[in-house]
Amino acid sequence: MYELSQIASLSTNDFHFPAEVWIQAIYDFASGFNKAKNPDKERIVESMTPLYFGRVASFVIECKDLKTYDTELLIETQALKFEGLKPYLLERWG
């Protein structure tokens, strides 16, 4: 995914891992996990770890100055994006 290589090249001050890219990556990994043979599944899960830490870091940066209510809205917005990108998952799943 081209977007991930762009995110990886960002400086600490410019770092941002958009929810949409995170969701697409999760859906790509889920599809790959579904299609993989058993020995490959552990590697797929392990390879997600750096992406997870990157998204967590980005989320912390996004929320650092927000009040609890606004942070909860951000979480809800991300959940809606997961729902909105479900066709992306279904396209890759089959």
Mean pLDDT by groups of 10 residues along the chain of 94 residues: 90 94 95 83 88 96 96 97 97 90
pTM to 2 decimal places:
0.88
Task: Tell me the H-state helices in 1-94.
Answer: 2-8, 19-35, 38-47, 49-63, 68-84, 86-93
pLDDT score recorded for residue 89: 97
DSSP 93: H
Angle at 30 between CA 29 and CA 36, to 5 degrees: 85
pLDDT score recorded for residue 45: 86
pLDDT score recorded for residue 36: 84
